[in-house]
A and B are shown apart, each in its own frame.
Chain A
Amino acid sequence: MSAPPRPLRKVLVANRGEIAVRVVRACRELGIASVAVYSEADRAALHVRFADEAVAIGPAPSPESYLRSDRLIDAALRTGADAVHPGYGFLAENAGFARACADAGLVFIGPRPETIALMGEKTSARREALAAGVPVVPGTFEPLGDEAHVLSEAARLGYPVMLKAAAGGGGKGLRLVASAAELPSALARARSEAQGAFGDDRVYLEKAVERPRHVEIQVLGDAHGHVVHLFERECSIQRRHQKLIEESPSPLLTPALRARMGSLAVALAQRVGYLGAGTLEFLVGAEGEPYFLEMNTRLQVEHPVTELVTGLDLVKLQISVAQGEPLPFAQEAVLQRGHAIECRVYAEDPDAGFLPSPGRILALRAPAGPGVRDDSGVYEGWQVPIHYDSLLSKLVVWAGTRAEAIARLRRAVSEYRVLGVRTTLPLFERVLRHPAFVAGDFDTSFLETALRQEPVPHPRALDVAVAAAAIHAFRARQTSRPQAPGPAAAASGWRRAALREGLQTRLGG
């Protein structure tokens, strides 16, 4: 069933931002040429600058560029690429795109189209899990019909329930419903959100798990039927059902539970003939019972956490198994060493409900030093576009123990400076000092509950900030005289100072 190994010479990266940079880097290390694609908003993006070749694929909105399967395949054929790496998001879990690549004679670096289709529809993934003996959250195993059907199934399960998009992912079309009275409006919103995000408004139900933790298992399969797991990632620090901080090992898992979840994941991946890198997401309830949630049939945003504790390069391994090579190691050889934590630096304002904050990056300094990795897709001077996901970079640290890793991440966050756009960095400063996080005692509601209700007191150096600002103003006045004093002039003086320094203030609200 497996084709003979076919070395890849040129890979088209059908993505943008930090993940495109990540794939280009792996290609360069492997001596494989890389082709970037870019929309009109991304001509000067970092992934274009790092790649060997680059092809324009259309206007800024992603439906006209990064989601245009035809243009991506055309770009691959025109540049003589022999494979396509989809990254995550965009077309990464689109079975039609994987099939179109194969039909064009291109290697799709990911699972087979049938696997993507089977595991991408959440209720068929739940049926597969059940058949493989993997526990799932009680719920429905088919998409639901009309409102009356949803109401009767919810009543059977008992409230609270989670309403989920069958084609779902990324928190879209997801609603926690506490009672029958809330269900009709939640159903309408979930359906419209799912239709908008996936072009598919089918939903299903799961019983809501109390105080859940989100723990996922990384798997890797080759074309010869071997599947291994690369241990877990703890992903319970979330906002709007989207992850912000991930770590491995999970402070929650006992060795027995870790081994059990690993073998459950391998059993399910083996059952569906999994090829490449994939992730099985589980909820772990308050009593430590794991429930399969869904499978992501692609490289995960947080894959560096696994790379740092296992010493493996997941992108290189994806390429290797896509070439038809067998996995170069057995399960027993994979070790989880030390502790890794990642925090996602988004251009969002954590103090304003995570409002997106696009704009020009006026200044940027990434942290460095021992045990620090910054997977970034941006640079100083880059205009963060309004059209795409707001992830700027992933800051990941490794250390011998969890306590050392937290201290190292705090140190790295304190070195990280991003000016011009708001970022989630100040939030990490607060999370990493919070006793519940430090103790490993948290669940997916941490940001909304513990952090909000018991913020850590933080002595602020306000006098230093005020003195620094006043000296800055003093120096600006000294170099911009003559100028009438007065508060109104002060404001315009600031604008002049900003222009003089080649800076651009964000004019808003």
Chain B
Amino acid sequence: MLFDATVDGRTLRVEVRAANGRYAVVVDGRPLQVDLVEAGGAFASLLVDGHSHEVAFEPQPGGLRVHLRDDVVAVGLADAASGAASPLRRASGPARVLAPMPGRVVRLLVAPGADAEAGQGLLVIEAMKMENELKAPRGGRVLELAVREGQAVEAGALLLVIA
């Protein structure tokens, strides 16, 4: 099963397969062998390559807040489109930037026709009073802006296209 996970302003392709009671997970090309068991309520115990991680899952619109031992990480999750390679991951061709979570577009940081560098902030989406800056998955020209400031968007909505 393929997901697009948004964390820290970056969107990562994640693949999950169940294998022998464990999970083979590939995060952005990095393989992880994960043993996850539920540990009461919202808690789960993870063993990743012998390292023990206790996590707790807090649902939020469009994803989860994952509580780790020393950190809380907001992870936006969306099903990747029908298992096809994500347009975001392709090195060439137009990249469609999608909303990682339902929310409201607070600010546009680029204009149509502008050139954006990889990692540059494109726009800011607010969800649950939190503002999240979406960054360009790669460099290119902003071909199309599909949203305006103040607009509410659903998870997975097209925000803009970079080519």
Q: Whole-angstrom distance between the alpha carbons of A505 and B98 in the complex?
A: 23
Residues of B131-151 at the interface with A, using a CB-CB cut-off of 8 Å, are none
Contact of B129 among A362, A474, A497, A509 (CB under 8 A): A509
Residues A486 and B79 in contact, CB atoms below 8 Å apart? yes
Quick one: closest B residue to A353, CB to CB? B129
Answer whether residue A458 sits at the interface, using C-beta atoms and an 8 A cutoff: yes
Instruction: List B15-40 residues whose CB lies under 8 Å from chain A.
Output: 16, 18, 23, 25, 27-28, 30, 32, 34, 36
Other-chain contact of A508, B12, B67, B72, B129 (Cβ < 8 Å):
B129
Assess A470 versus B14: contact at CB under 8 Å? Given A419-B58, A419-B67, A503-B59: yes
The verdict on B62 contacting chain A, using a C-beta distance below 8 Å, is: yes
Judging by beta carbons under 8 Å apart, are B155 and A487 in contact? yes
A452→B128 CA distance, assembly (Å): 23
Whether the Cβ atoms of B58 and A474 lie closer than 8 Å is: no
A466 at the interface (CB under 8 A from B): yes
* A471 in contact with B16 (CB, 8 Å): yes
Contacts of B73 in A (CB 8 A): 460-462, 465-466
* CB-based contact B30/A463 at 8 Å: yes
Is A462 a contact of B7 with CB atoms below 8 Å?
A: yes
B79-A470 in contact (CB<8A)? no
What A residues does B42 contact at CB under 8 A? Answer: 362-363, 419, 501, 503
CA distance A498 to B63 in the complex (A): 11
CB distance from A126 to the nearest CB of B (A): 41
If over half of B's interface residues share one DSSP class (helix, strand or loop), that class is named, otherwise mixed; here it is strand
Which chain B residues lie closer than 8 Å to A490 at the CB level?
62, 77-79, 155-156
Q: Is A352 on the interface with B (CB-CB < 8 A)? A: yes
Q: How many A-B residue pairs have CB under 8 A?
A: 176
* A420 nearest in chain B by CB position: B58
Q: Say yes or no: A507 contacts B34, CB within 8 Å.
A: no
Query: Which of A458, A485, A506 lies in contact with B71, CB distance below 8 A?
Result: A458
Query: Are B12 and A466 interface neighbours, CB within 8 A?
Result: yes
Residues in A with CB closer than 8 Å to B156 are 486-488, 490-491
User: Any chain A CB within 8 A of the CB of B123?
Assistant: no
Distance in angstroms from B94 CB to nearest chain A CB is 18
| A155 within 8 Å of B (CB atoms) | no
> Taking the complex as formed, is A355 at the interface, i.e. its CB lies under 8 A from any CB of chain B?
yes
B159 interfacial contact with A, CB 8 Å? no
- A184 contact set on B, CB distance < 8 A: none
Q: How far is the CA of A470 from the CA of B7 in the complex (A)?
A: 12
Q: Are A468 and B58 in contact (CB under 8 A)?
A: no
Bound Cα distance from A495 to B66, whole angstroms: 16
Task: Provide the bound-state CA to CA distance between A380 and B57, in Å.
Answer: 14
Contacting pair B14 A468 (CB below 8 A): no
Min distance, Cβ B156 to any Cβ of chain A, angstroms: 2
Cα(A467)–Cα(B46), bound, Å: 10
Is B95 an interface residue when CB atoms closer than 8 A count as contact?
A: no
Instruction: Knowing A474-B18, A506-B60, say if A466 contacts B75 (CB, 8 Å).
Output: yes
What distance in Å separates the Cβ of B25 from its nearest Cβ neighbour in chain A?
4
- Bound complex: CA of A171 vs CA of B161, how far in Å? 49
Known: A471-B36, A487-B79. A465 touches B55 (CB 8 A): yes
Instruction: Output the residue of A349, A464, A474 with the most chain B CB within 10 A.
Output: A464
CB of B5 closer than 8 Å to a CB of A:
yes
Contacts of A339-378 to chain B: CB distance below 8 A:
349, 351-352, 355, 362-363, 365
CB-based contact B59/A468 at 8 Å? no
Q: Which residues of A contact B48 (CB under 8 A)?
A: 464, 467
- Rounded to whole angstroms, the CA-CA distance of A503 and B43 in the bound complex is 13
B43/A461 in contact, CB under 8 A: no
Query: With A and B bound together, what is the CA distance between A509 and B104 in angstroms?
Result: 8
- B41 in the interface (beta carbon within 8 A): yes
Q: Which residues of B contact A494 (CB under 8 A)?
A: 59, 61-64, 77
Contact (A469, B63) CB under 8 Å given A488-B154, A490-B77: yes
Query: Is A313 an interface residue when CB atoms closer than 8 A count as contact?
Result: no
Closest chain A CB from B161 CB (angstroms)? 16
Determine the distance from Cα of A468 to Cα of B78 in the docked complex, in whole angstroms. Answer: 14
B71:A426 contact, CB within 8 angstroms: yes
Q: Report how far A470 CA is from B34 CA in the complex, Å.
A: 11
Cβ contacts under 8 Å, B66 to chain A: 465, 468-469
When chains A and B are docked, how far (Å) is the Cα of A497 from the Cα of B42?
Answer: 12
Distance, CA A351 to CA B128, complexed state (A): 12
Q: Which of B18, B34, B154, B155 has the most CB of A within 10 A?
A: B155
B85 contacts the other chain (CB 8 A): no
- Judge if B1 is at the interface, Cβ distance under 8 Å: yes
Docked Cα-Cα span, A468 to B34, in Å, equals 8
A296 to B14, CA, bound (A): 55
Given A485-B79, A487-B79, A487-B98, decide whether A505 and B61 contact each other with a Cβ distance below 8 A.
yes
Cα–Cα, bound, A471→B43 (Å): 13
Q: Which residues of A contact B70 (CB under 8 A)?
A: 414, 429, 458
B155-A491 in contact (CB<8A): yes
Q: How far is the CB of A451 from chain B (nearest CB, A)?
A: 16
Residue A489 interfacial (CB < 8 Å): yes
User: Does any Cβ of B come within 8 Å of A417's Cβ?
Assistant: yes
Instruction: For B101, list chain A residues within 8 Å (CB).
Output: 491
Decide yes or no whether B44 CB sits under 8 A from chain A: yes
**A363-B41, A486-B156 given as contacts; is B61 within 8 A of A507 (CB)?**
yes
Given contacts A426-B71, A474-B23, A488-B156, 16 further A-B pairs with CB under 8 A are A349-B129, A363-B56, A419-B65, A420-B58, A458-B70, A462-B73, A466-B12, A468-B57, A470-B3, A474-B1, A486-B79, A486-B81, A487-B78, A501-B42, A501-B59, A509-B127
Q: Which 5 A-B pairs have the closest CB atoms?
A: A487-B156, A465-B73, A469-B75, A487-B78, A363-B42
Chosen A-B contacts, 9 in total, with CB atoms closer than 8 Å, are A419-B65, A420-B58, A458-B71, A460-B8, A461-B71, A463-B28, A473-B64, A490-B155, A490-B156
**Which residues of chain A have a CB within 8 Å of any CB of chain B?**
349, 351-352, 355, 362-363, 365, 380, 414, 417, 419-420, 426, 429, 458, 460-474, 477, 485-491, 494-495, 497-498, 501, 503, 505-509
